[in-house]
Amino acid sequence: MRTLFPRLAALVPTLLLPATALQAAPAPADWEAVLDEARGQAVYWYAWAGEQRTNDYIDWVAGQVEEQFDIALTHVKVGDTSEAVSRVLAEKQAGNHDDGNVDLIWINGENFAAMKANELLFGPFAETLPNFALTHPEHNPEVVTDFTLPTEGYESPWGRAQITFYYDSHELRGDSQEVAAPPQDIHALLAWAEANPGRFTYPRIPDFTGSTFLKQALIELTDEHEALYAPVAESDFAAITAPLWDYLDALHPHLWRSGRQFPATGPEMRSLMGNGELALAFTFTPSEPAAAVADFELPESTRSYVPESGTLGNVHFVAIPYNSPHKAGAMVVADFLLSPEAQAHKQDLDVWGDRTVLDLARLDDQSRDLFTLDDSNPAMLPAGALQKTLPEPHPSWMTALQDAWQARYIGD
């Protein structure tokens, strides 16, 4: 009886409460209670696994939260974040409202917008995480804004991305007629591609790196910037995007495979660089080229730069599905990801190289020292290169651009 009674007692609230999203959720404000509840939980984190370095970092996080909080973190490896979204959806469809498989998702942009709109997320929780204050959201609005949408505490930031171009300096300086200096804006890129046919490309839409390239080009080509930061339905899509399609029509014949084929992902584009098929490429992770040099994927003559026009940048987050049975554990992991320790380890070029979302001014000196960048690596961006960050348009633009691109360039 002694062991049975607490179990029965634990059942009672579940039976009495209406089935709401918050039914078994801990109150985020009482952090001690959250830590207590998290102890011993198994947290399944659905995260994109296309990069060995990212996977290794998540492995390290798993070791740390096991040791510090007694949480068993499992990295569920997905090829695309949308797989996790559709899994939560399948569970909702099947009426599984409190015992889902997904506890934590690495997410941003249109995936977040879709989950939030369909009420698939738990929250608000982010702003109550103890380490969240270190991001100093009042000064850094990007940590509470995801593709123009306010996050409203439904996701917690953990890293930053910005489009960064890279090239093989050995190739660009070579005997060919290639332009010695890499292009510094979208118009120069077209000229460069005409001079170097087949040596540049972008990932196939709807890959997120490829889609980001479309947005980058659109921002540089249109004058109607304000329209991009409101839902696409509020403006004349065809008129605003006309210069983009003219540009792409002009660019495609000079791309790799004459624009009849595109690499599937950013990493595939990187491997084309490694094979010598491309001479110029870009990534969403500024440290990626330097990391790839260390992994023998790119030549040591690789160099990175941010064009003078500035490039799109965004913050990536973690979110908790409404039906996660381990919300406390997931919150503790989200908080750990924001700790100076975890953020500094993540930024270490030997580990991953993903930039921190913390506001270094908020840290004590000792913690701040952890973030000192080593800029001796020639493949790394020079310090201060990431100043010119363009904000992401409203997520509806991403979807609209993807659809329009596919309608225009698929199967003709």
Under rule CB under 8 A, which residues in 54-113 are in contact with other proteins? 55-56, 59, 74, 76-83, 85-87, 89-96, 101-102, 110-111, 113
Using CB atoms within 10 A of its CB, is residue 153 exposed (0-12), middle (13-18) or buried (19+)?
Answer: middle
134-142, 255-263, 332-340, 343-351 -> range binding other proteins (CB under 8 A) = 255-263
Q: Please say which residue, 199 or 355, places its beta carbon nearer to other proteins.
A: 199
Q: Nearer Cβ to other proteins, position 377 or 389?
A: 377
Q: Between 163 and 192, how does the x/- string for binding to other proteins read (CB under 8 A)? A: ------------------------------
Q: Which stretch binds other proteins (CB under 8 A): 159-167, 241-249, 260-268, 360-368?
A: 260-268
Considering only residues 370 to 389 of the shown chain, the ones binding other proteins according to CB under 8 A are none
Which residue, among 124, 125, 107, 99, has the nearest Cα to 31 in the 3D structure?
Answer: 125
> Segment 28-47, which members bind other proteins (CB under 8 A)?
44, 46
**Segment lying near other proteins (by CB under 8 A), choices 140-148, 242-250, 266-274, 326-334:** 266-274
| Contact between 211 and other proteins per CB under 8 A | no
How far is 188 from 203, CA to CA, in rounded Å? 19
Q: Is residue 52 close enough to count as binding other proteins by CB under 8 A?
A: yes
Cβ closest to other proteins, residue 220 vs residue 354: 354
Minimum Å gap between C-beta 267 and other proteins is 4
Phi, psi of 162 (to 5 degrees): -150, 140
Out of 160, 204, 316, 346, point to the residue binding other proteins (CB under 8 A): 204
Q: Total residues at the site for other proteins (CB under 8 A)?
A: 71
Q: Mind spelling out the 3-state secondary structure of the chain?
A: CCCHHHHHHHHHHHHHCCCCCCCCCCCCCCHHHHHHHHCCCEEEEEEECCCHHHHHHHHHHHHHHHHHHCCEEEEEEECCHHHHHHHHHHHHHCCCCCCCCCCEEEECHHHHHHHHHCCCECCCCHHHCHHHHHHCCCCCHHHHEECCEECCCCEEEEEEEECEEEEEHHHHCCCCCCCCCCCCCHHHHHHHHHHCCCCCCCCCCCCHHHHHHHHHHHHHHCCCHHHHCCCHHHCCHHHHHHHHHHHHHHHHHHCHHHHCCCCCCHHHHHHHHHCCCCCEEEECCCCHHHHHHHCCCCCCCEEEECCCCCEEEEEEEEECECCCCCHHHHHHHHHHHCCHHHHHHHHCCCCCCCECCCCHHHCCHHHHHCCCCCCCCCCCCCCCHHHCEECCCCHHHHHHHHHHHHHHHCCC
If the CB atoms of residues 198 and 243 are measured against other proteins, the closer one turns out to be: 198
Tell me which of 129, 147, 215, 270 binds other proteins, using CB under 8 A: 270
Output 102 or 318, the one with its CB closest to other proteins: 102
Of 135 and 196, CB closest to other proteins: 196
Q: Strands 155-162 and 164-168: what pairing?
A: unpaired
As measured in angstroms, the least distance from the Cβ of 21 to other proteins is 15
Using the rule CB under 8 A, is 298 a contact of other proteins? yes
Q: Tell me whether residue 132 or residue 352 sits nearer to other proteins (CB atom).
A: 352
- Tell me whether residue 292 or residue 337 sits nearer to other proteins (CB atom): 292
When the beta carbons of 349 and 373 are compared against other proteins, the nearer one is: 349
Quote the least distance from Cβ 346 to other proteins, whole Å. Answer: 18
Residues 214-253: x/- map of binding to other proteins (CB under 8 A)? Answer: ----------------------------------------
String marking each residue 122-151 x if it binds other proteins according to CB under 8 A: ------------------------------
Tell me the two tokens of residue 133. 């204050």
